[in-house]
Structure 1
Amino acid sequence: MAAAGQQVTLETIDKDQMKTFSDFLMSYNKLSEMCFSDCVRDFTSRTVKNNEEKCALNCMEKYLKMNQRISQRFQEFQMIVNENAMAMAQKTGKL
């Protein structure tokens, strides 16, 4: 019986890991496509021009900083929502 429970747990972990990896790949692909379309203009050479490289690095840095800031704000918002819910539950006596 324990083996069946352990199997379900492993399947759940595998699904969670696949979802996390899938989310990462989607974000990476979005970043790559966005920065490529914004920065790469010259297709007459096999080499990447200095201005294209700088543009791509700046684009990536901005995107990652923006993503990090949004995540932080979302976490702060979630903490406030949770605190308000706890306060409301205590006030109504449901806790």
Structure 2
Amino acid sequence: MDGLTQAEQRELESRLQKRQVKEFMSVFGNLVDNCFNACVDDFTSKALSGREGGCIARCVTKSMTTQTRLGERFAELNAAMSAEMQKR
């Protein structure tokens, strides 16, 4: 952020924060949709059945674990690419 005024830095940070929130809400919304569609199939009661609740818990755990691993792998690849670029 060298070369930016303080006002420009604040504006950039604000935009980045808004983008992060938007991306988080998108991931969260997809998680809810996917787990609901995969696990909930009995609409005779307002409450989740034991099977549905267990399915949702597993679905959320699996999705969060996958997102975490994807983030880690992306960071690994990014570091490798950066190291390769510095060698040149």
- TM-score, with normalisation over the residues of structure 1? 0.83
Which residue of 1 is the match for residue 75 of structure 2? 75
Task: Give the number of the structure whose alpha-carbon radius of gyration is greater.
Answer: 1
Runs (5+) with no aligned partner, structure 1: 89-95
Question: Identity of paired residues, percent?
Answer: 25
Supply the distance in 2 between the matched residues of 1:38 and 1:7 (Cα, whole angstroms): 46
Per-residue Cα deviation, 1:32-90 (whole angstroms, up to 9, x for no partner): 000000000100111110110000010000000011111111111111111111112xx
Runs (5+) with no aligned partner, structure 2: none
Q: Which runs of 4+ in 1 moved over 4 A?
A: none
Structure ranking higher on relative contact order (CA contacts 8 Å, 6+ apart): 2
Q: Structure 1 residue 6: deviation in Å?
A: 3.1
What amino acid is the match of 1:39? C
Is it true that 1:34 corresponds to 2:34 in the alignment? yes
- TM-score, with normalisation over the residues of structure 2? 0.89
Q: Root-mean-square deviation (CA), in Å?
A: 1.0
